Amino acid sequence: MLQGKTVFITGASRGIGLAIGVRLAQEGANIVIAAKTADAHPKLPGTIYSAAAEIEAAGGKALPLVVDIRDEERVAWAVAEAVSTFGGIDVLINNASAISLTPTLDTDMKRYDLMHQINTRGTFLTSKLCIPHLMQAENPHVLNLSPPLSMETRWFAPHVAYTMAKFGMSMCVLGMAGEFKKYGVAFNALWPRTAIATAAVKNLLGGEESVRRCRTPEIMADAAYHILTRPSRDCTGNFFVDEEVLRQAGVTDFTPYQVDTTLRDEELMPDFFL
């Protein structure tokens, strides 16, 4: 179903975004890698060019583009490049995100602005610019990597600025799913049940021991595949959880997705917001 389809992924130079790109490339998709990292970062693996090499090795075509999704002109340029190169856009993955798990008094406004500009504003902006092209697609999907909306104090109190920024992405799902339902453009969210082994977990949530209790990004990639191959008119406005999607697809053994396959399920680190 994804052979020859064009998928625009923000923040796809590493982590979950890259894993989704590689997974969809295995189905023959064209992957637009819209991310900032053109040169190797000392603390973060991967660039848009190393990501492009992985995607092409997996069987897809890659278009690496240096994009800061805070920059409206740059996002517009990237969308135009994608359409010029591949003829359209079929899927948008709003993956790019900034995180700071700080309480209010420890959150400087520079970091607050970064999270809101990338997470909420960047998702809104990239969606806005892709929608006219998605409306021309056969089975158009937008997938935001954001949590189910849950207005409970426990999700806000420890890191209100971050929660606001992530829930902003989820509010885009809620609103745009309704706004564009009549056009057949699907808007859904996907969130992991457990923490995922990414640089953010390693750097912010306890290092190697925390990573050991994670699942790999491939679980999110496989879940994304199952969502994006559903008919867009029948699958919109949902807040999906990776494990639930895969159980519906018939997966019963999740051990292969664990970083440490010797751990029991209850020993894995649960993610926020669930």
Catalogue the active-site residues: 162
Query: From the centroid of its chain, how far is CA 134?
Result: 17
Residue 45 DSSP symbol: -
In whole angstroms, what is the distance from residue 9 CA to residue 262 CA?
33
Q: What is the DSSP letter of 270?
A: B
Other C-beta atoms lying within 10 Å of the C-beta of residue 30: 26
> How far apart are the C-alpha atoms of 195 and 192, rounded to whole Å?
7
How many CA atoms lie within 13 Å of 210's alpha carbon, on the beta-carbon side?
16
Backbone phi, then psi, for 247, in 5-degree steps?
A: -60, -40
- Helices 122-134 and 160-179, interaxial angle, to 10°? 20
Q: What span, in angstroms and rounded, lies between the C-alpha atoms of 206 and 114?
A: 23
3-class SS shares of the chain: helix, strand, coil, % to 5: 50, 15, 40
Sequence-ordered alpha helix ranges (H) in the chain: 15-25, 48-57, 72-86, 109-115, 122-134, 153-156, 160-179, 199-204, 207-212, 218-228, 242-248
